[in-house]
Amino acid sequence: MTKAANRYGIQNEIKAADICQKFRALIPELFPKKQSPEENISPAYYKNSILVINVKTPAWAQEVIMRKEKIISEINRKAGKEIIKNLRAQLSSGRKSTFS
pTM here is 0.78
Q: Is the pLDDT of residue 95 over 70?
A: no
Task: Please report, for the chain, the start and end positions of each structural domain, with discontinuous segments joined by +.
Answer: 2-99
Length of the chain: 100
- The pLDDT of residue 97: 43
The CATH number of 2-99, from 3.30.300.180, 3.40.50.300, 3.40.50.1100, 2.10.25.10, is: 3.30.300.180
CA distance 44 to 34: 20
49-89 pLDDT tens trace: 999 999 999 999 999 999 999 999 999 998 899 999 999 99
Q: Is the pLDDT of residue 8 over 80?
A: no
